Chain A
Amino acid sequence: MIPEIGHYALILALCVAVVQGIVPIYGAAVGDSALMSVAKPAARGQFLLVLLAFCCLGYAFAVKDFSVLYVAATSNSQLPLHYRLAAIWGAHEGSLLLWVFILTIWMVAVSFFSTHLPEAMRARILGVMGLVSVGFLLFMLTVSNPFERLIPAAFDGRDLNPLLQDPGMVIHPPMLYMGYVGFSVAFAFAIAALLGGTLDAAWARWSRPWTTVAWCFMTVGVAMGSGWAYYELGWGGWWFWDPVENASFMPWLAGTALIHSLAVTDKRGGFKAWSVLLAIMAFSLSLLGTFLVRSGVLTSVHAFATDPKRGLFILVFLAVVIGGSLILYAWRVPRVGLGGGFSMLSREGMLLANNVLLVAALGSVLLGTLYPLFLDALDLGKISVGPPYFDTVFVPLMTPAIFLMGIGPLAQWKKASLPELAVRLRWAFGVSVVTAITLPFILGQWTPLISLGLLLAIWILTTAAVDLRERLTHTDGSSLMGRLAALPRAYWGMALAHCGVALFIVGVTMVKGFEVEQDVRMNVGETATVGGYTFRFDGTEQYRGPNYIAARGTIHVSQGGRDVTVMYPEKRRYFVQNQTMTEAAISPGLLRDLYVSLGEPLENGAWSVRLYHKPFVDWIWGGCLVMALGGVLAISDRRYRLAWRRKVSDVPASTQMARQTVS
């Protein structure tokens, strides 16, 4: 009964979404306030209906209702409750439900925080989001219904893939989807502006915080995915340039370009058409990413052939969303007009270069991800594009972008002077170059790439310091603290996010340059030394978990005769799917991670063991978190808070006006 209620709620949500997608947009076109005002209640109603459906599916998982096909396929009676709930998004159908649920969350957020927008704008934004929702709900109800019954019911479920039975699974997909779907708001703003034909600095100011919030979620989501791969796959790698990872990285690149381009639109009125195009691009890539990961096309393009309806729907949906918005773009963008002119050497020029480089990087990832799929689909042979390709392309593309990242914030809008910039930055440049050349020698090994990485990281930090000092001298205030506090939070956010990039680069450079990896055979009591740490293998013992049995190894780690830590790597066998899983043991630290995973059991209790010493690896994810924090700080800036506070006082007036127009 409960699953049928969920199913029914989805059907009702679809009806509401259709109304929300048509009536307010039509109302905005003819200027009918009553029709436009449908948008808000429709969005909230849709949220409640999808919430109900989501809870119904969660209930089915909680009570182990194996008469629901999706529940039987992705969970098992031995699976602990929190993983049963996380299994909601463990496969295709449930992921779609999560997607729509998060879309309705964003809709409700828009309906609450948009009172300062013109009514037509808000109606169009919610309308576009309603149309997106129509597509997803239709997809679910026609070809991938999570509430489909399995008759007769299964005696027990097929279980969640053991790889997904991890705390990361509980939080990583919702985070990532908050980002993916968050770009739908930026997309809706862009389409609404195209429909309305008004694209000005105010539009950029409204859509900026939404884009930044989505970007923050996206940043955290991608970083969590990377961290999860690091500790869960047992290979010690943090990024594999796997299509699944690329699928989440591409919208991130587009979103990063978008927040920078919106800054120009907001401050200078330029890059308008480009910002709109980027918003369309970011959301299209989010859609592509969702489908790439969840439709099974990556496992085999011929999975499309086994369920042609699903594949066809996806292709049509992508074509309608991307094609439709590009046609609208081509038709309406000429009237948007250009912004003010600027010299190539100016802050606009540098942000433009940043955008071009980011989009070029995005294109190269897209090529490497989709080309093998195309070849395979056309039966032209099977190829793969490995990490060397991405590494070769990314370093030369990102190096100039990061170099400009140091200069951009110091350059003037419109026209900057090169000699003046050189004088202002000479110290930063000198310090960066000298440190980058000497530091690797102190660390014990010099290669061009280590030096380059350190150069870029230190360049970001030193230029940020110069920028801060200059801004402080131009700020009024008696005490240093007072002047620090007087700087706008948007500035602090930018500076923090850029420093996050620096931390990230330090992490990548140090890991790539100095990590030590060793695969060894270890008898009980035998030791091995990696990166200055001595690992002693003390054998394994049996250990039983809720739905698996494990061999747990004990490894004592010491450095120079001093005990450092004891690590317990595991080799688990999950009962239901009879699948073996390596659970690595990690001893994290600010300056290094020690990473141990068990290979295979050999004779006499010996094991093959993989030992890693990974310097600064946590800085990679730390850097990403700092970037996201920077984003959060930026949207807490005073001018956005003012805009929202103003709306509170505006509300009575505007509702009065609306009432008058209605009557």
Chain B
Amino acid sequence: MKPRHKRFVFIGLGLAALAAGAMLVLNAFQSNLVFFFTPTQVANAEAPKGRGFRIGGMVENGSLTREADGLTVHFVVTDMAKRVPVTFKGILPDLFKEGKGVVAQGQLGADGTFLASEVLAKHDENYMPPEAADAIAKAKAAGAQSSGTLVVDPR
């Protein structure tokens, strides 16, 4: 092979490797994106069935109950318009509180309960997950009736 041909092979192999890498990355990217839905969207059946997603809003006051095993908890996530019941087995993060914002990742069960595999707590001093604040702000903007008991500052 002449050096020129060699260079062509070199470049060709490089491009092929690059294309394969890009395919790999984009494919993994596509299948691992986690979308976010507000309780209103979940109530309107916009959220996917059988695929994981994130839900965010406020933990409704007085909705937290714990089963006898001490680990399985039930609570309600609300955006002040719609409410979605959530079940989670495990230890809740420190920043989880009733009346505070929350983001949970998991799947929708057959009975409409959100089965959370993970409850997230961003480590930030003004704790209101942006997704949760956004969900509440959106529901408010849509003119849904507010429960009026909780005042949220959508930053």
Contacts and interface: CB of A to CB of B under 8 A. Distances in A.
A364 interface: yes
A122 interface: no
B24 interface: yes
Given A300-B130, A381-B36, A393-B24, A608 B91 contact: yes
Range of interface residues on chain B? 35 or more
A608 B70 contact: yes
- Among A306, A384, A521, the one with the most B-chain Cβ atoms within 10 Å of its Cβ is A384
Contact of B94 (A363, A389, A580): A580
Nearest to A517: B90
Contacts of B10: 344
B25 A367 contact: yes
Interface stretch (B26-34, B77-85, B107-115): B26-34
A579 B94 contact: yes
A234 B94 contact: yes
A397 interface: yes
Interface residues of A, number: 44
A382 interface: yes
**Which 6 pairs across A and B sit closest by C-beta, in order of nearness?**
A521-B70, A599-B91, A389-B32, A382-B36, A392-B28, A300-B130
Interface in B1-31: 3, 10, 13-14, 17-18, 21, 24-25, 28-29
Interface string B84-114: 0000011110110000000001000000000
A163 B105 CA distance: 23
B155 interface: yes
B120 to A, nearest CB: 9
B125 interface: yes
Given A384-B36, A393-B25, A519-B91, A161 B125 contact: yes
A356 B29 contact: no
A383 interface: yes
A382 B29 contact: no
A257 B52 CA distance: 36
B74 interface: no
B94 A393 contact: no
Interface in A260-294: none
Given A606-B70, A608-B91, A299 B124 contact: yes
A389 B29 contact: yes
A488 interface: no
A363 B33 CA distance: 17
Interface string A491-526: 000000000000000000000000000011100000
Contact of B32 (A233, A385, A581): A385
Contacts of A300: 130, 133, 155
Contact of B70 (A299, A368, A386, A602): A602
Given A392-B32, A602-B66, A382 B131 contact: yes
A300 B33 CA distance: 19
From B54, B94, B105, B134, name the one whose CB has the most chain A CB atoms within 10 angstroms.
B94
Contacts of A392: 24, 28, 32
A381 B35 contact: yes
Contact of B28 (A360, A393, A608): A393
A577 interface: yes
A197 interface: no
B153 interface: no
Interface in A228-248: 233-234
B34 A385 contact: yes
B37 to A, nearest CB: 9
Contacts of B71: 519-521, 599, 608
Contacts of A579: 94-95, 125
Contact of A577 (B91, B105, B125): B125
Nearest to B69: A521
Given A382-B131, A389-B29, A396 B94 contact: no
Contact of B29 (A302, A385, A582, A606): A385
B140 interface: no
B123 A233 contact: yes
Contacts of B33: 383-385, 389
Given A392-B32, A393-B25, A600-B91, 6 more contacts: A360-B25, A384-B33, A519-B91, A581-B94, A602-B70, A608-B70
Interface string B115-143: 00000001111000011011000000000
A610 interface: yes
A396 B24 contact: yes
Contact of A610 (B24, B91, B125): B91
Nearest to A610: B91
Interface in A573-606: 577, 579-582, 597, 599-600, 602, 606
Contacts of A388: 28, 32
Contacts of A368: 29
A386 B34 contact: yes
Contacts of B21: 360, 397
Nearest to B32: A389
A602 B105 CA distance: 25
Contacts of B32: 385-386, 388-389, 392
Nearest to A601: B70
A383 B69 contact: no
A389 B70 CA distance: 33
Contacts of B125: 161, 577, 579
B17 A356 contact: yes
A269 B24 CA distance: 33
A588 to B, nearest CB: 22
A41 B90 CA distance: 60
5 contacts: A300-B133, A381-B36, A383-B33, A392-B32, A579-B94
Interface string A296-327: 00011010001000000000000000000000
B71 to A, nearest CB: 6
Contacts of A597: 91
B94 A582 contact: yes
A525 B32 CA distance: 43
Contacts of A397: 21, 24
A59 B134 CA distance: 40
Interface string A386-416: 1011001100110000000000000000000
Of B21, B124, B133, the most chain A CB neighbours within 10 A belong to: B21
A582 B92 CA distance: 11
B99 to A, nearest CB: 13
B25 A364 contact: yes
B50 to A, nearest CB: 17
A582 B28 CA distance: 34
Interface in A85-104: none
Contacts of B90: 519
A383 B35 contact: yes
B133 to A, nearest CB: 8
A367 B34 contact: no
A300 to B, nearest CB: 4
Nearest to B124: A299
Contacts of A606: 70
Given A299-B130, A383-B34, A600 B92 contact: yes
